[in-house]
Amino acid sequence: MDFVTQWIWYLAAFLAGSLVAWLAVAIWVPYVGEQEALDAMPGSREVGTAE
pLDDT at 49: 56
Please check whether residue 30 lies inside any domain of the structure: yes
Residue 27 and residue 20 in contact, taking contact as beta carbons nearer than 8 Å: no
pTM for the predicted model, two decimal places:
0.59
Q: Give me the percent of the chain exceeding a pLDDT of 90.
A: 53
Predicted pLDDT of residue 9: 97
In a domain, 45, yes or no: no
Establish if 11 belongs to a structural domain: yes
Range of the domain at 19: 1-40
More confident residue, 51 or 12: 12
Residue 10, φ and ψ in degrees, nearest 5: -65, -40
- Is the pLDDT at 48 greater than 90? The verdict is no
The number of domains in the chain is: 1
For residue 27, being part of any structural domain is answered with: yes
Alpha carbons 48 and 26: distance in angstroms, whole number: 32
